[in-house]
Homo-oligomer: A and B are copies of this chain.
Amino acid sequence: MAWLRKPIRGVLMDITGVLYESGERKAIEGSTEAIKMLRAADIPFRFITNETQKTREQLDSLLHRLGFDIYEKEIFMCVPAAKKFIHDLSYRPFLLVHPNVESEFYECDQSQPNCVVMGDAASNFTYENLNQAFHVLIENNDSVLICLGKGKYYREHSELVMDVGPFAAALEFAAERQAIVIGKPGEEFFRLALDDLKLRADEVVMVGDDIVGDVGGAQSVGMRGVLVRTGKYRSSDENHPSVKPDGIVRNLKEAVERIVAMERPYKPVFPQ
């Protein structure tokens, strides 16, 4: 339990596969209680997700329906970060995203596109749409490929399905261009959430079900990375060739119970 040897002052968490199983309409056992425990113990936390099939508002209301006591501003997502990136560099996007989030890009100029923005488009990943994205890249050497996360797969309705990463790899291969990744495991994205917590990386633990995107990504910015055995977790993740989790727990509840049980450094309480 090496991850419990140093103080933990804040927690980052993935959402899908940690709070609830993708495609299912109920919370993972113990996860609503886990959030209550963190709040009761006054341990700050944020959610950090590559979810790009839902807007932040949709995700927030889904989590409330599932019984989670959270605030919309605690959720960090790729789309707002990507919109800022596109806006700052004056890119005009061709969108290959889920229909649910297309509307979030309405204010971007989408004429004569000079970049491709790919999210987890799911059944929008058709041969035709992928070829259109390919054309945007190949017809202009300066076009860029922006990828909202680079996950390999996730679990939905008890089946593993491919995430955005494989489709990004397809376009990278076809157009001979590296994708710019906005999302986990990109460092920039973790730093946004850390800044909001006002904590240093070595004070924070990231809890996730993705050995590379969550655990490896968190470790690469100096956080501890804890793997849960829910969501897309597979037993082979425990012997991953390059990423070694700082801790492995049954689920979020076990992680939080251990964090809350830790002796916390004295925090002065001033009289009101």
Contact = CB atoms under 8 A, between A and B. Distances in A.
Interface string A126-158: 111011001100100100000000001100000
A165 interface: yes
A153 B174 contact: yes
Closest CB pairs A-B (n = 6): A169-B173, A166-B170, A166-B174, A170-B170, A125-B127, A166-B173
Given A131-B162, A152-B173, A170-B170, 17 more contacts: A125-B127, A125-B130, A126-B126, A131-B159, A131-B161, A134-B153, A134-B160, A134-B162, A135-B159, A135-B160, A152-B174, A162-B170, A162-B174, A165-B173, A165-B174, A166-B173, A169-B169
Interface residues of A, number: 30
Nearest to A241: B176
Interface of A: 122-128, 130-131, 134-135, 138, 141, 152-153, 159-162, 165-167, 169-174, 176, 236
When all copies of this chain in the complex are counted, the total is: 2
Nearest to A141: B236
A217 B23 CA distance: 45
Contacts of A162: 127, 130-131, 134, 170, 174
A6 B210 CA distance: 57
Contacts of A160: 134-135, 138
Contacts of A126: 126-127
Nearest to A169: B173
A98 to B, nearest CB: 12
A180 B14 CA distance: 35
Contacts of A166: 130, 134, 170-171, 173-174
15 contacts: A124-B127, A125-B130, A126-B126, A126-B127, A127-B162, A131-B159, A134-B153, A152-B173, A162-B174, A165-B173, A166-B174, A167-B170, A169-B172, A169-B174, A170-B170
A28 to B, nearest CB: 22
